[in-house]
């Protein structure tokens, strides 16, 4: 969260700076990132693309209005893909299994699955059984041990469940790690363990988010799951599932010279012009030439698109009406240059001895809003 806040204010600083800095091109030309490890990237490496909405074509608007979801290298798929999953425990590292061979006690005993996913049997050697269900592991063992014992009658059981976990993280009261075992657990039961309350209207917690499973990402709404009368929506959790709840997953953040800045939760096809009208543009202080919409570019690594609309001419509001806002967009309207100067002066003068000879006049101007009449 701190990184996001820092990132936002750095972008705002760059947009309002009078100096052309690396990575900010009005053309815009792209600044290529140097090759280095992901962990070495910082805010300075983010590619910022300035896009003028006043010059956009109908094809441009069609492209801008396509909704894309942040999924890294994964794919958004329909929720139906997980409804048919029937839970079975899958063996993994650190699980402990018990083996019982009826006709011999040569391999009887407990075995810990090592970091390579194997157990080491006396006289036989290592056998890989991780990422297998119990039935699959038994078939594998019978096949290998059958090379040493004729028609082996073998039983395998799990005595310690240590490898299979699922996670509920994000804007929930209790972020938890769930240890999965032989008994299946469904998403509603897991949400209750995370102290999720479907009837709560707290702004500190959310219900919408994503489920990451097997390198795919699914949209999820826990509140809808609780309310649903279709039991299949209360799906089984699977090994390594991650449910991340974002309290502002559909929010648009609005800052700047507006009467009603804040967080908005608009419906689909909510245009920039509608937002400006709803939030109340301050015509006395706003820089109408620079209305910004900051949007992460999910198709490129470390890339942000900054859409700029000049509404000094009211006709430009037509372009704003064609541009639809997306969840997580940041809308920023900076102050006009004279407003920035007046605010800077009003902050500096009470703290400094500058302009001593004019202090009575200037200080009076500060107290009355910065508009002292020097001719009186």
> What pLDDT, in 10s, does the model give residues 163-176?
999 998 887 888 88
**Sign of the alpha-carbon torsion through 170, 75, 302, 298:** negative
Q: Write out the two tokens for 285.
A: 């202080």
For the chain, what are the domain ranges? 2-66+252-335, 79-86+164-245, 96-160, 338-367
Phi and psi of 313, rounded to 5°?
-95, 120
pLDDT tens for 180-191 read: 998 999 998 998
Q: Do domains 2-66+252-335 and 79-86+164-245 have the same CATH topology?
A: yes
* Torsion on CA atoms 222, 224, 227, 229, rounded to nearest 10: -110
* pLDDT of the residue at 362: 38
CATH number corresponding to 96-160: 3.30.1950.10
Q: What is the CA angle 67-266-82, rounded to 5?
A: 50
Q: Write out the two tokens for 150.
A: 């004729």
pLDDT tens for 129-169 read: 999 999 999 999 999 998 988 888 999 999 999 999 999 88
- The answer to whether residue 217 scores a pLDDT higher than 70 is yes
User: At the fourth CATH level, which superfamily is domain 79-86+164-245?
Assistant: Outer membrane lipoprotein wza domain like (3.10.560.10)
CATH 3.10.560.10 fits 2-66+252-335, yes or no: yes
Average pLDDT over residues 289-318: 83
- The answer to whether residue 266 scores a pLDDT higher than 80 is no
- The answer to whether residue 202 scores a pLDDT higher than 70 is no
């Amino acid at each position: 969260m701190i990184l996001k806040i820092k990132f936002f204010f750095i972008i705002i600083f760059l947009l309002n700076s009078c100096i052309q800095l690396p990575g900010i091109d009005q053309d815009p030309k792209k600044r290529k990132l140097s090759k280095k490890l992901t962990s070495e990237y910082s805010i300075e490496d983010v590619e910022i693309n300035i896009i003028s909405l006043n010059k956009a074509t109908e094809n441009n608007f069609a492209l801008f209005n396509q909704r894309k979801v942040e999924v890294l290298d994964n794919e958004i798929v329909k929720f139906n893909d997980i409804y048919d999953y029937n839970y079975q425990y899958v063996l993994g590292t650190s699980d402990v299994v018990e083996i019982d061979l009826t006709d011999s006690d040569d391999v009887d005993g407990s075995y810990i699955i090592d970091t390579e996913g194997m157990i080491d049997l006396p006289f036989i050697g290592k056998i890989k059984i991780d990422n297998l269900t119990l039935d699959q592991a038994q078939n594998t063992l019978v096949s290998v041990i059958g090379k040493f014992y004729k028609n082996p009658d073998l039983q395998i059981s799990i005595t310690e469940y240590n490898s299979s976990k699922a996670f509920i993280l994000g804007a929930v009261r209790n972020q938890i790690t769930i240890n999965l075992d032989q008994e299946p657990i469904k998403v509603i039961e897991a949400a209750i363990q995370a102290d999720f309350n479907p009837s709560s209207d707290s702004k500190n917690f959310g219900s919408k988010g994503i489920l990451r499973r097997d390198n795919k990402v699914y949209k999820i709404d826990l509140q809808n799951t609780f309310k649903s009368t279709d039991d299949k929506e209360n799906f089984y959790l699977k090994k390594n599932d991650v449910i991340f709840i974002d309290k502002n997953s559909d929010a648009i953040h609005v800052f700047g010279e507006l009467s009603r800045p804040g967080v908005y939760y608009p419906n689909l096809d909510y245009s920039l012009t509608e937002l400006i009208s709803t939030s109340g543009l301050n015509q006395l202080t706003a820089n109408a030439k620079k209305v910004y919409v900051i949007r992460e570019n999910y198709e490129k690594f470390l890339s942000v698109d900054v859409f700029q609309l000049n509404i000094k001419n009211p006709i430009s509001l037509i372009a704003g009406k064609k541009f639809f806002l997306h969840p997580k967009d940041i809308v920023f309207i900076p102050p006009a240059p004279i407003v920035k100067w007046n605010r800077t002066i009003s902050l500096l003068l009470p703290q400094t001895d500058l302009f001593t000879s004019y202090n009575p006049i200037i200080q009076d101007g500060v107290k009355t809003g910065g508009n002292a009449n020097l001719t009186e």
